[in-house]
Amino acid sequence: MSLPTEFAALEPYLEWDLATEAERYARRLASSMAEMQAFYDVAFPLLEDAIAYCDKFPLSDLPDDARTLMHLMQSLVMVSFPVEVWKQARVPDSGAAQIGLLVEPVI
């Protein structure tokens, strides 16, 4: 796993480099709010620059560093509601409900 040099601040969070939504959701459920908050605090300010960096490449042919960055930003989306709204990893009042994605857009 590698990152573009301008995103080196994300290196401590490479465990969030997860290719599938199911992996990201499982990681969210296994993480504490403090862990998610720390990742969010570093990643969120880099979001627009990360999108601009990834947009330089076709989605079907991302270089490894851009793919890692994209996965980290997808993980950021996964933790954004728990951090910003719910203050817990699970969706409030959802019981055992979960959503399964049948096909990943890009792995």
Res. 99: pLDDT tops 80: no
pTM for the structure as a whole: 0.83
Q: Residue 18 has what pLDDT?
A: 97
Q: Hey, which of 1-5, 71-75, 95-99 has the most confident mean pLDDT?
A: 71-75
Domain ranges (residues) in the chain = 10-86
State what percent of residues in the chain have pLDDT above 90. Answer: 68
Let me know: does 1 contact 68? Beta carbons within 8 Å.
Answer: yes
